[in-house]
Amino acid sequence: MRCLLTLLLALMCGVPAAAAERRPNLIFLYADDLGWGDVSFNGRTDWKTPNLDRLGAQGTVFKRWYTAAPLCAPSRAALMTGKYGIHNGVTANNDELPPDTVTLAQALQKHGYKTALFGKWHHGKPRPGMKEYLNPLDRGFDEFMGFTDAGHAWEQYPKELWFGREKKPVKGYSNTMFTDRAVDFIQRQKDKPFFLYVPYIATHFHIQAPPEDVKEHLGKFKEKDAKNPVNATYAAMVTRLDKEIGRILKTLEELNLTGETMIVFSSDHGATFESGNKGASAYHDSNRPFRGQKRTLWEGGIRVPGLVRWPSHVPSGKISQDIVHMTDVYPTFLAAAGVKLEAGWKVDGINQLPVWEGKEKAPDRTLFWEWRTEGSRQLAAMRGNLKMVVTADNAPELFDLVADPGERRSVIAEHPETAKQMRKELNDWLKTETEEAKWGKKPPRRN
């Protein structure tokens, strides 16, 4: 009877009949400021992330997973829209999505999924014609608890959080509270397909973790101030994040939902070496072996941890060098759910489901990045192993990411025609910037 009801609901919502009985639950677990080298499935040995390692062992680890932007709001907007910032209107940390944007949550909600967000939502300033920013409940989420603005979304021990449209006092560690809500949501939605988005705020500063977690790492690292063991605390933030993810995995196992659930884990961008981090990520070399950090377009800013688990669909124990871009999550999740991607959504990402399932190789394509706010002017384009980076002095460099993952040696002299073509593609891409993305930018940005 339950399968029949699922089939009827799916048909009413426009989901293909063949997909009706196998629509997976979809979970996206998102870290904040977590470096590629902060997880043990990418080689970290100073601490372990056993739950993430288990996810990787039961699924596929993607060594070349790229975020869409080197800062919080643009990277999250790209995830939620499947579009580059120059197309979705969010290229700076204080930009707001246009009100008519169809988010991933809205697309899935429309087709029968229950949707929830527990963690960090990052709104910007209201656009012309908007009285205020739109709450996540207006963006396709049935349930929401967490932060809505960047000004508070680094509070590991917040005094209040949003519960839907109401702000309420809270007490405790934020990432644990997000997991509590996620576990409760899964338990309540176990009989229905759901989309659960958990954007944690670990390891975003403030550098704080529960004392019992910090204690596990005391004495392992050199500290500037023994009374404020920042380096041990950062390690504790990563291992606490892993423990929280373990609680979600345990809940799925207890409810026999593991096989029916696709889980993706990643980070919004690379780790930061900025002052708020107090030197912890620099000390731990969180982005190793890559150059750069948050707010840069070198690999350390945009290559992030990435893995996918969906038993019997995604190969287990596989290490993939296929290139995945964060805008691909939108169309890939929809494909897994049997939802047709509408042309009017103008998604930039591609459906990577056959790649994630190990049936195909990722197609050749040129990917682009731009970071032209906060006084910066950085551009990048990548195709296969070659990546062009253009910084403020407008002198492009070309790197072979396989031979030189640290981007130390430009090979532009060896590939002049390739460099010329990539620069043309990059300039052509910049010309596609929408008026929505140009809104609020003064002075007009140069190409």
Signed CA dihedral, 219, 223, 227, 232: sign only? negative
Sign, CA torsion 210/211/217/218: positive
Residue 64 CB contacts under 8 Å (≥ 6 apart), including other chains = 303, 320, 321, 322, 323, 324
Say if 109 falls within a structural domain: yes
- Quick one: 372 and 359 in the same domain? no
Which residues of the chain fall short of a pLDDT of 70?
Answer: 1-22, 440-447
Same domain flag for 66 and 26 = yes
- Asked if 110 and 66 sit in the same domain, the reply is yes
- DSSP sequence for 63-78: EEEE-S-SSHHHHHHH
pLDDT for res 9:
46
Domain hosting 426: range is 368-438
238-264 tens-digit pLDDT? 999 999 999 999 999 999 999 999 999
Residues 219 and 265 in one domain: yes
Are both 76 and 113 inside the same structural domain? yes
158 and 45 belong to one structural domain:
yes
Position 101 scores a pLDDT of 95
Q: Which DSSP state fits 299?
A: H
Q: Say what the pLDDT of residue 441 is.
A: 59
User: Which CATH number characterizes residue 189's domain?
Assistant: 3.40.720.10
Using CA atoms of 43, 49, 54, 56 in order, give the dihedral in degrees to the nearest 10. Answer: -40
DSSP letter string, 361-413:
PPPP-EEEEEE--TT--EEEEEETTEEEEE-TT--EEEEETTT-TT--S--TT
The residue type of 406 is G
Q: How far, in Å, CA of 399 to CA of 291, rounded?
A: 12
Q: What angle do CA 198, 214, 241 make, to 5 degrees?
A: 15
**pTM, rounded to two decimals:** 0.93
Contact status, residue 293 vs residue 34, Cβ threshold 8 Å:
no
Q: Any idea which residues carry the catalytic annotation?
A: 72, 122
8 Å CB contact between 214 and 226? no
Q: What is the reported pLDDT for 6?
A: 46
Angle at 63 between CA 61 and CA 65, to 5 degrees: 95
> How many structural domains is the chain composed of?
2
- Residue pair 347/82 in contact (Cβ under 8 Å)? The answer is yes
Q: Say if residue 356 is in the same domain as residue 385.
A: no
Last residue of a domain, one of 363, 393, 408: 363
Tell me the two tokens of residue 24.
């997976």
* Residues 350, 389 share a domain: no
- What phi and psi, each to the nearest 5 degrees, are found at residue 368? -135, 155
Q: Using the 3D structure, point to which of 305, 331, 363 is the last residue of a domain.
A: 363
